[in-house]
Amino acid sequence: MKFKHTSVLLHETIDNLKPKNGGLYVDATFGGGGHARYLLSKIDTGTLIGFDQDEYAIKSAKLNFANLLEPDSEPKLKLVHDNFTNLQRDLVELGYSDGIDGIYYDLGVSSPQFDQADRGFSYRYNARLDMRMDQSQSLDAYQLVNTLSQKELADILYKYGDEKFSRQIAHKIVERRKDKPIVTTFELVDIIKEAIPAYARRTGGHPAKKSFQALRVAVNHELDVLQASLEEAIKVLRPGGRISVITFQSHEDKIVKKIFKKYSEVEVPRGMPFVPDDMKPTLRLVNRKPIIASASELEKNNRSHSAKLRVAEKL
């Protein structure tokens, strides 16, 4: 089982964590394990816990990292088939209740997930509308497309995909499904193409790209779970521990920036002679501006063009 995926901002993400021997680290989005393999190569002893809600990713990792999953291996790798929003609970269940030394998130969808036609993530393959990262959840793209109101659909397309023709697309979807349910990705692609004016389809890439992104985000509640998980991650970090987050969408980056700002800046009332302990900042920003891919990486990996990395340290 092969899970081919080129990791974005690989060295920048892991090196900024400053991994040390004996440390406990969390990969919140294991995927193909590119970042994990590099982190494990930087330490001789220690443990990395890899989270992924995608069963395919976990099955692949069990094969590709079998030697590191052995009880007596050093360093050690442990895999958790769960969404990273359950980070704190799962760590306690695993026996790690005293904190971690570092955690990182790669919020991009792995190429193998898109390339599995039956997952319904991609507008390039014809499949049932699905888009679920966790195949055990009931909500999928088919339900959203065929049950939401025109306004709800338009709001999703605009909010999560920055689709400026969101209203036209939502109207066309609702009109089309009056005859019969919209079942496949190609059916949806045709509807989107019909809804977008011809002049707009000539530029900006595939006309369905933004809509498919928006539906995927909505199906998997990606922004809500990201915010909840970041809050938990900051709580479980030990002093001196670091958190690295790679985002690929402006919505994700805004959430990371907002939470990092919330925990790194404090407003001290005027006239207060000192800052009480409960008002002191929790984080220190390692980089004020997001780290972006180098020119050489941009040439090798097209996915890195929209990537932004933010890093913070627990005080």
35 is in an annotated binding site: yes
Please name the residue that has the structure tokens 């919330």: 262
- Every domain of the chain with CATH number 1.10.150.170 lies at 117-220
52 is in an annotated binding site: yes
23 is in an annotated binding site: no
Asked if the 117-220 domain carries CATH number 3.30.565.10, the reply is: no
256: CB partners within 8 A, 6+ apart? 226, 230, 245, 247, 310
Beta bridge partners of 25: 48, 102
Dihedral angle sign, alpha carbons of residues 205, 209, 214, 216:
negative
46 is in an annotated binding site: no
Class of domain 10-106+222-314: alpha beta
In which band, very low, low, confident or very high, does the pLDDT at 149 lie, cut at 50, 70 and 90?
very high
- Every domain of the chain with CATH number 3.40.50.150 lies at 10-106+222-314
The predicted pLDDT at position 3 comes to 56
Q: What is the pLDDT of residues 177-231, one digit of tens each?
A: 999 999 999 999 999 999 999 999 988 899 999 999 999 999 999 999 999 999 9
32 is in an annotated binding site: no
Percentage of the chain exceeding pLDDT 70: 97
The token duo for 121 is 């993530």
What is the pTM assigned to this prediction?
0.92
The token duo for 169 is 């697309």
Q: What is the pLDDT of residues 231-290, one digit of tens each?
A: 999 999 999 999 999 999 999 999 999 999 999 998 777 777 777 777 789 999 999 999
The radius of gyration computed from the CA coordinates of the chain, to the nearest angstrom, equals 21
95 is in an annotated binding site: no
22 is in an annotated binding site: no
